[in-house]
Amino acid sequence: MRAVTWHGRADVQVDTVPDPTLQEDTDVIVEITSSGICGSDLHLIEVMAPFMTKGDVMGHEPMGVVREVGSAVTAVKPGDRVVVPFNISCGTCWMCSQGLQSQCETTQNREQGFGASLFGYTKLYGQVPGGQAEYLRVPFGNTLPIKVPEGAPDDRFVYLSDVLPTSWQAVQYAATPPGGTLLVLGLGPIGDMCTRIAHHLGIEHVYAADVVPERLARASARGTNVIRSTKKDDVVQAIQDATAGRGADAVIDAVGMEAHGSPLAQIAQKATAVVPDAVMEKVMQVAGIDRLAALNTAIDAVRRGGTISLSGVYGGATDPLPLMRMFDKQVQLRMGQANVWRWVPDILPLLVDDDPLGVDDFATHRVPLEQAPQAYANFREKKDGAVKVLLQP
């Protein structure tokens, strides 16, 4: 089969790789019909490169059609249409029963000290082949795949794999009070969807900060108050002006390690491109390598007693936090990989009939799998208005 594979920093290619096969009697094989490119995928060809291996199949936002099932699979059958969550969870352990599928005890990567395995990600999370491919082996066929209706195009359901539950969890964790103000930092796919979910859930005052014109236009068109800057002083001043000087009740950091404005961390991130992987892998497990500009903006922009919700990915092991300031402001901080199945019952009904979240036109680009390298480059460099890209084998 053809698949998007990792070949190094800023280097993805489309290769012919072996077809996946059933390995357990609960496995299913899914023929992929759509698979998103995520901002987290860009981390793999940048700062997280030391944890990758040449030939790794990428992608963790797939959906498709079941083509083969193991002998113990009864929940789905060949021909069923399914979305595959990005985190690999058994659905039956204690953590899964608590709605913490991202911490699944069956697939936890204990030797690495990390949570549940992820499709198409680093050796820290199991190094499981991903879904930017023609076919995907999916374990836990009775509990992991999300069966979706026939008829509507893939765009209606594909974001159940990651974008929708990640954004839904971010908004829920933010816990904006009635009549309150929510600030979203970053209007990439997750930040954009956070604003849409916030409006849908009735949050009255939604603000978002970014500098990319296409992203600002998308958010503004759906009623979000946009702040056309990512500089901390500009964002903090704008949100204080809107809240009688108090600050936002809740802030979602949808940027994470990609933020600019942290020179020392920027040097550390660039070092991953020149220091041998074996060395840098060890360094990253004990050092702070994140650019914390977005998080520092969130800490300054949130009101005293407010909540910060982190959905942007961070990769540093010992990033310095301004704990005195956070303690003094009585900041509540919530974060973590999205627990996909925790939120599916809330989200799936919104996708069946109407389209309140605007998923039908959420993607800006739909391209064949063979064009993945250029699609990655455009998304990485924010060219050609690329906000959300779907690969279609």
Domains and CATH numbers, the chain: 2-162+339-392 (3.90.180.10), 166-335 (3.40.50.720)
pLDDT value at residue 260: 45
pLDDT value at residue 258: 60
Mean pLDDT per 10-residue section of the chain, whose length is 393 residues: 95 98 98 96 88 96 98 98 98 98 98 96 96 98 98 96 98 98 97 98 98 96 97 98 98 78 45 51 52 91 98 75 95 97 98 95 97 95 93 95
pLDDT value at residue 277: 55
What tokens were used for 333? 């901080």
pLDDT value at residue 22: 98
Per the CB < 8 A criterion, the answer to whether 25 and 71 are in contact is yes
Beta carbons within 10 angstroms of residue 178's beta carbon: 8
How far, CA to CA in Å, does 53 sit from each of 48, 86, 136, 293?
11, 19, 19, 30
pLDDT value at residue 318: 65
pLDDT value at residue 264: 42
Q: d(Cα 206, Cα 248) in Å, to the nearest integer?
A: 10
pLDDT value at residue 316: 65
Count of helices and strands (H, E) across the chain: 13, 15
* Residue owning tokens 């290619």: 13
What tokens were used for 116? 């549940």
pLDDT value at residue 285: 52
All residues at 6 or more sequence positions from 120 whose CB lies less than 8 Å from its CB, including other chains: 41, 56, 57, 58, 59, 60, 128, 129, 130, 131, 132
- Read off the pTM: 0.92
Q: Quick check: helix, strand or coil at residue 205?
A: strand
